[in-house]
Homo-oligomer: A and B are copies of this chain.
Amino acid sequence: MPDWNDYASELGRRGRAAALLLASTRDATKSDAIARFADGLRRGRATILESNASDLAAAEAGGLERPLIERLRLNDARIDAMAEGVEQIARQTDPVGQTIESTVRPSGMRVERRRVPIGVVLFFYESRPNVTADAAALCLKSGNAVILRGGKEAIHSNTAIATIAAAAIADANLPSDAVQLVNTTDRALVPVLLRQNQQIDLVIPRGGKSLIEAVVRDSNIPVLKHFDGNCHLYIDEHVAGIEQRVIDVCVNSKTSYPGGAVCNAVEHLLFHRRAADVLLARTCAALSARGVEIRADSAARALFPQALPATEADWSTEYLAFTLGIKVVDSIDEAIAHINTYGSRHTDGILSTDIAACQRFVSRVDSASVMVNASTRLADGAAYGLGAEIGISTDKLHARGPMGASDLTTYKWVVTGDGHLR
């Protein structure tokens, strides 16, 4: 078994050196590197597709599930989309250097919070090669060095893409260590990397729950978690006149992503008793027609007898499939309490015409995104106008919900005096 200590500390040390330079690099230079990277992706198309073919062959041979193989697959259109995504990041406003807040104190001393890069980011992600390109470009834009550790099924594709990134960065006269890809799929490296808190400032784990739990357990570096979502929609008693909109939002929230296997798909509907009487059966019928299996409590089954009975375990389940739990509640407060108890604080919404109900729901539901009369599927960096996102944080500290380039920054206090003393 190899000793990963040297490799892990080397990754950290190189990342730190690159980060210190990147922190004071002007945007024109960073954007130039990112634009060259996009060019390189287009010019390196043949190499990328060849590497991807190796990954696909191994995945087929290893019996990887069909949807995961599709996620892994690259083709001309996907490489074009990847390059365009990277170009969009190059054109974004640089968050670094912005003054977030400033005051001049009575003594004349100026106090500013100024946005700066975090430093070195360690990023774990699923086997989706386009994420390698997005993450490299987002970290570069925000002045961070990144250490990438993608899913093992994508190792050849990721290596091809990261090599192109490093070359583009060097061509722009920046340190190519700004983007480092972990060159092994050996899991023994992971806990060793997670102890490099002198050199790595932030870990972002994306992917399966067990990976994220292991990262939280093993890391002495701060972690921004990206757990999946047990999302709810509450259908309030005030829905007269918006019945069709309610049905459309419910159906869209559940079914707009193929197979429902996405963190911002709705998993549970809570109907106020009065809304249930008029809308529950119609909503269930619309969902059933799209192939959604419904599990319901007894009050809901009385209105839609085709539903299967829900058990207590259903309420805390994130199905990630075309399955949906339905419950009837007696009040908005019961809905809020249910969401705060069983939910995962990712994305929850209300459908209502009543402003007081919407305000109550918004202020009392403790979730990263709270949707009012909108699909839960809109909880997403692109929909929020952030551009590409590095993930959706379910943590409360630092960044919550969809994270864009500016969420990869922190601030420093810059204090300017003319000999000020205490």
Query: Which of A's residues lie within 8 Å of B, judged by CB?
Result: 20, 23-24, 103, 105, 109, 111, 116, 118-119, 201-202, 216-217, 220, 222-224, 242, 245, 248-249, 252, 256, 340, 358, 360, 362-364, 366-375, 377-380, 383-385, 395-398, 400-402, 410-422
Contact = CB atoms under 8 A, between A and B. Distances in A.
Nearest to A337: B20
B419 A242 contact: yes
Contacts of A380: 422
A337 B348 CA distance: 47
Given A105-B385, A385-B105, A397-B118, A370 B202 contact: no
Count of chain copies: 2
B119 A366 contact: yes
Q: Which 9 A-B pairs have the closest CB atoms?
A: A374-B417, A245-B419, A377-B422, A252-B421, A374-B420, A24-B363, A398-B398, A369-B413, A397-B398
21 contacts: A23-B364, A105-B383, A105-B385, A109-B378, A111-B383, A201-B396, A222-B222, A249-B420, A256-B421, A358-B416, A362-B414, A369-B415, A373-B420, A374-B415, A375-B421, A378-B417, A378-B420, A397-B410, A400-B410, A400-B412, A401-B413
Contacts of A378: 109, 415, 417, 420-422
A140 B111 CA distance: 26
B368 A412 contact: yes
Contacts of A367: 412
B413 A368 contact: yes
B396 A401 contact: no
Contacts of A223: 222
Contacts of A383: 105, 109, 111, 422
Contacts of A363: 23-24
A374 B109 contact: yes
Contacts of A119: 366, 396
Contacts of A252: 421-422
B385 A410 contact: no
A119 B366 CA distance: 9
A242 B417 CA distance: 13
Contacts of A396: 118-119, 201-202, 222, 410
A411 to B, nearest CB: 6
A72 to B, nearest CB: 24
A373 B418 contact: yes
Contact of A373 (B360, B398, B417): B417
B421 A411 contact: no
A397 B407 CA distance: 10
A216 B223 CA distance: 12
Contacts of A375: 417, 420-422
A95 to B, nearest CB: 12
